[in-house]
Chains A and B, each alone.
Chain A
């Protein structure tokens, strides 16, 4: 049993952390939010230069061929920095989706630009009625001529507005029956796409996406497999493991900020850190965070497990523990900061909002409790 990191892995973590510490102060982040994309293209290039965008891409397509552990290390550092850039969306989910589902020609066409940062791709799978059940998509693809017509509505798509390529999940329509699940690489300028842009509670640019009879060529369908479900399940679990790691990074920062505040803030002639009730509250935060860290490790290890049932149970368990940590630590960090905690000016509320968003994405805590419960007996 060994919970340590190799020298190479530690270096990856340290390098990413150093970059964030230098380039991603909270004030710098405020500036990035105001940019046209809602994030910084310079930072994105910085990630590319460090090789971070290549981690989830195979070597033969310009990548580094890394895995879940490397992703976890990078994501934890990005979580500490409350990073706005589309790392999770493009460098993890979309990169893995293309790698897993694209045929060699498609991989060669799409992946190098993702690794270099030249292009951004986003996996669009949530829909209004799916309630986290990614298999239950209503988006349909009808064969037409030498391509497909896509119609559907994708919900709350982080970084959808910046995507050069939208990887859209849809079921092939044939004779009235929804058929196999497929993923289509849809170029942003495809006629028939409509976006409603907005910002989510955590400051990330996002959008609704409608495909109104959008025609895509046959080559757009990532067709390395007849049915995308098994591969897509692995891709989404990799995303889930990544977001768990991001949450742990944010949780660590939030606890550190809370401890420092409690030491600095004096009321009734003493730092409030001296009050036992608040010490116990911070101890409770430690309990949540250490459990979350443990489950983040489990998620990394199990996310690549070929046995779907084992993998699914572990991923759900991880999301439950992390979701509960997000809620408790986030709320208590705000509470312990008093009035300052509810301001926009201080970074505490921004961590709180990111943790809120993480809890609601990739399946809420209740969703995963039910998933886990479903395999109890």
Chain B
């Protein structure tokens, strides 16, 4: 039994740390560390910096321009980036559609799409959920009907993150209505500039515009944009679920946010003492830190199994549930730390370069919005209820 990283892994960690310290723009880091609003350009700049270093696709194999890292190296990379205040990589291009194109796409699709994903030149969004297909994703109705050398697509996708910025969308579409739902789904790549594609913002409770509805009306899509085989789309979607899940726990993000909580608790005063010295409050922080420690070790166990070629599967559900609960608990405790100053919700004060007056301490500014925004963690990516179903079925055999 050995809980330590190897000397090589530690050296790699140091390498990543040095890279982030020298390449992460200070203004982006400030926003991420302090829970402020990130702009499209912030993600573009960070992706460009990673790409320049050859790290634009951290999980990509060398043959596709990736660094060819081990599972542990990928974990270390994610953790160090998050902890240092690098923005979370938008996953839809680099972590979702790219692995599918690599595994199941044609050489032409690989050449057409992968380089622009890696460089960040083309943005992707995920056309999965529909109003009637949330947890029951297989019930998607958006239809793709073959017409000569095209598909004609009609339907509506929802909860599409950053569709307003995206150049392309990868969609689960129905190509056969006669069979069991999972057997009639295809994986189609659609240019967002195609006639018939309309994006409508969905504003979330924190006032942010992150997600959208994407309406597809008689959108003509070249047949060569079908990935793999018709009616095999569900297999590719499931491949994605098993792939790239070991960082689902978000350890690095949780560590960074926990550090923020401790800093704020050290600055807030209660009865003449820093809040972090208060018995009740410090016990609450302790519980979160302990839960995170346990999750970190569980995550390493899953990684270790992956390194030994034991394919990770339903354990990812454990990581997802605990990881999201811990992150949500931190956002909640942050609001408690500042008390009534968690109440003002001023998005204009959360934007870069705001020079106006703060309502209360500056660090209190984004806490309500952060808490509200993070309610999505237990809902998306397969809700925590679905994750528990997976545990019950796949781990417990019930």
Residues of A at under 8 Å CB distance from B?
Answer: 126, 128-129, 131-132, 155-156, 196, 198-202, 206, 208, 266-268, 275, 277-278, 327, 331, 334-335, 338-339, 341-345, 349-350, 352-353, 356-357, 360-361, 364, 366, 369-370
Contact pick for A206, options B136, B280, B343, B379, CB 8 Å: B343
CA distance A171 to B380 in the complex (A): 51
- Please give, as numbers and ranges, the residues of chain B lying within 8 Å of A327 by CB-CB distance: 332
Residues A128 and B385 in contact, CB atoms below 8 Å apart: no
Least Cβ distance of B356 to chain A in Å? 9
- Please give, as numbers and ranges, the residues of chain B lying within 8 Å of A357 by CB-CB distance: 343
Interface size on B, residues (CB 8 A): 46
Least Cβ distance of B55 to chain A in Å? 32
CA distance A366 to B207 in the complex (A): 28
Contact bitstring B336-351, A, C-beta under 8 A = 1, else 0: 1001111111100000
Residues A196 and B343 in contact, CB atoms below 8 Å apart: no
Known: A275-B385, A338-B379, A344-B207; 12 extra A-B contacts, CB below 8 A, are: A128-B341, A131-B270, A201-B342, A201-B372, A206-B343, A208-B360, A339-B158, A344-B204, A349-B204, A349-B372, A360-B343, A366-B280
Which residues of B72-90 are within 8 A (CB) of A? none
B269 within 8 A of A: yes
Contact bitstring B346-374, A, C-beta under 8 A = 1, else 0: 10000000000101100000001001100
CA distance A71 to B380 in the complex (A): 41
Which residues of B360-398 are within 8 A (CB) of A? 360, 368, 371-372, 375-376, 378-380, 383-385, 388
Residues A353 and B134 in contact, CB atoms below 8 Å apart: no
- Please give, as numbers and ranges, the residues of chain B lying within 8 Å of A275 by CB-CB distance: 385
CA distance A266 to B135 in the complex (A): 10
Query: In the complex, which residue of chain B has the Cβ closest to the Cβ of A361?
Result: B340
- Please give, as numbers and ranges, the residues of chain B lying within 8 Å of A331 by CB-CB distance: 375
Residues A201 and B368 in contact, CB atoms below 8 Å apart: yes
B248 within 8 A of A: no
Query: In the complex, which residue of chain B has the Cβ closest to the Cβ of A265?
Result: B134
- Please give, as numbers and ranges, the residues of chain B lying within 8 Å of A361 by CB-CB distance: 340, 343
CA distance A349 to B207 in the complex (A): 11
Residues B202 and A345 in contact, CB atoms below 8 Å apart: yes
The SS class assigned to the B binding surface is mixed
- Given A129-B269, A199-B345, A278-B385, residue A342 in contact with residue B357 (CB < 8 A): no
Residues A198 and B344 in contact, CB atoms below 8 Å apart: yes
- Please give, as numbers and ranges, the residues of chain A lying within 8 Å of B368 by CB-CB distance: 201, 356
In this complex, the member of A128, A342, A360, A364 whose beta carbon has the largest number of chain B beta carbons within 10 angstroms is A342
CA distance A120 to B280 in the complex (A): 38
26 A-B pairs with CB atoms under 8 Å apart are A128-B360, A156-B360, A198-B344, A198-B345, A198-B346, A198-B359, A199-B344, A200-B343, A267-B135, A275-B385, A277-B385, A278-B385, A327-B332, A335-B383, A342-B379, A343-B202, A343-B205, A344-B203, A344-B205, A344-B207, A349-B372, A353-B372, A360-B336, A360-B339, A361-B343, A366-B336
Residues A206 and B281 in contact, CB atoms below 8 Å apart: no
Contact bitstring B101-139, A, C-beta under 8 A = 1, else 0: 000000000000000000000000000010010111001
Least Cβ distance of A35 to chain B in Å? 18
CA distance A279 to B21 in the complex (A): 49
Query: In the complex, which residue of chain A has the Cβ closest to the Cβ of B373?
Result: A342
Q: Which 7 pairs between the two chains have the least Cβ-Cβ distance?
A: A349-B205, A267-B136, A200-B343, A344-B203, A201-B368, A201-B345, A156-B340
CA distance A278 to B359 in the complex (A): 39
CA distance A268 to B133 in the complex (A): 9
CA distance A155 to B378 in the complex (A): 33
CA distance A88 to B176 in the complex (A): 58
Residues A343 and B375 in contact, CB atoms below 8 Å apart: no
Least Cβ distance of A190 to chain B in Å? 21
